Amino acid sequence: MEDAARSAGQSWKVTLPCTRAEAEALDGEIAAFAMMDRPPVLMTSEAEPDNPDSWQLDAYFEGKPSQAAIKLLRALVPSAAGTKAVIEQLPDEDWVTLSQQGLEPVTAGRFHVRNLATDPEEPGHVNFLIGASRAFGTGQHDTTAGCLVMLDRMRRIGMRFGNVADIGTGTGLLAFAALHLWPRAYATASDIDPVAVEISAENARANGVRLGSGMGQVALYTAAGVDHAALVRRAPYDLLIANILAGPLIELAPSLCALVEDGGTILLAGLLKEQADAVLAAYRAQGMRLAERVDRGDWPTLRLRKRPRIGWRRPVRLDPAERGEAWGFGSI
């Protein structure tokens, strides 16, 4: 048992050869790994500078990869059939940060997100510096970029918000973007992972975002789902963002919707196209309707609006007995 526990916390790398075409096809997130609790980080690079078609795939795992996971990797690079995968345990270091250091900047709507201070800012855009880290949400994932695009679209069509929550904030990026678009709003951001909350605070300082509980500031909390007194106390929200996974989105539907005022908006992301119907059904049962959908690759971003209740104007707040927990699910 002790050996298994140690293995689960260790970092491993699997390397397979691939062609340039296969490497280019891996640009973005891979649906095959979407349901894993801790999906691998995939990186491709040129294996031989003098051979433009010789590339390699490196997959970084937190914990020793299973045979099923290695089989999925092989399916991504058919040219590696018959080649033995190189599987190695890595030293104890922040391998997620190391694997992300070569990420290209991303432009989504009016936002430009770079991961390295040496990358130039993009003129005419809102620039954020979100360094590679152990927290998810650097902007590269199609779900995060999709949320940025949706936020931008909402501002362009004249939508206004004064009380924003970002549940499963990761790096804090989406909360920062929302506060830039609506600078007089109160912003609340939370994550189940205390490391993510620490990283969000660091990113706020790096990007000149004020921390605190006042107008134009971001208040940060560590919480599983919405299981935190401050998250409930600061409700009702007129905009709530949840970029996590389909499972916890469905599980948290009652508690998330309870924190949104009548006529308010929820942005949902982190789900695959084939999961959209199940997620939508869970939120429609809570009085939400689909207002807009934007797809980036296999990953949709859903904008929902809470139907007003005729003859009853006060928002329904979260019942203190309903803790709104979703343990075991991290941010995405």
Nearest to 229 by CA among 125, 167, 320: 320
Task: Show the domain range for 63.
Answer: 2-27+42-49+56-93
Domain count, the chain: 2
For the chain, the farthest-separated pair of C-alpha atoms sits apart, in whole angstroms, at 72
Helices (H) and strands (E) in the chain, counts: 11, 14
Flag whether 313 is in a domain: no
- The string of pLDDT tens digits covering residues 231-275 is 999 999 999 999 988 889 999 999 999 999 999 999 999 888 889
Q: What is the CATH number of the domain that holds 146?
A: 3.40.50.150
Flag whether 320 is in a domain: no
Flag whether 107 is in a domain: no
CA 228 to chain centre: 20
Which 3 state secondary structure label does DSSP give 94? Answer: coil
DSSP state of 279: H
Q: Do 144 and 281 sit in the same domain of this protein? A: yes
Flag whether 280 is in a domain: yes
Q: Is 203 annotated as a binding residue?
A: no
Whether omega for the bond prior to residue 236 falls within 30 degrees of 0, making it cis, is: yes
Give the Å distances, CA to CA, from 140 to 55, 131, 273. Answer: 21, 11, 18
Q: Do 155 and 276 sit in the same domain of this protein? A: yes
Q: Is 191 annotated as a binding residue?
A: yes
Q: What is the mean pLDDT of residues 125-143?
A: 67
Instruction: Report the distance separating Cα 252 and Cα 249, nearest Å.
Output: 5
Nearest to 254 by CA among 168, 332, 323: 323
Q: Do 81 and 147 sit in the same domain of this protein? A: no
User: How high is the pLDDT of residue 308?
Assistant: 83
E strand map for 90-185: 106-108, 111-114, 126-129, 163-167
pLDDT over 50 at 135, yes or no: no
Q: Do 68 and 207 sit in the same domain of this protein? A: no
Q: Is 227 annotated as a binding residue?
A: no
Q: Do 184 and 84 sit in the same domain of this protein? A: no
pLDDT bin (cut points 50, 70, 90) of residue 39 is confident
Flag whether 246 is in a domain: yes
Instruction: Report the distance separating Cα 74 and Cα 26, nearest Å.
Output: 12
- The string of pLDDT tens digits covering residues 189-240 is 999 888 889 989 999 999 999 999 999 999 999 999 899 999 999 999 999 9
Instruction: Report the distance separating Cα 72 and Cα 69, nearest Å.
Output: 5
Q: Do 143 and 87 sit in the same domain of this protein? A: no
Give the Å distances, CA to CA, from 287 to 16, 255, 316. Answer: 48, 12, 11
Flag whether 260 is in a domain: yes
pLDDT over 90 at 118, yes or no: no
Q: Is 238 annotated as a binding residue?
A: no
Q: Do 201 and 290 sit in the same domain of this protein? A: yes
Q: What is the mean pLDDT of residues 99-112?
A: 74
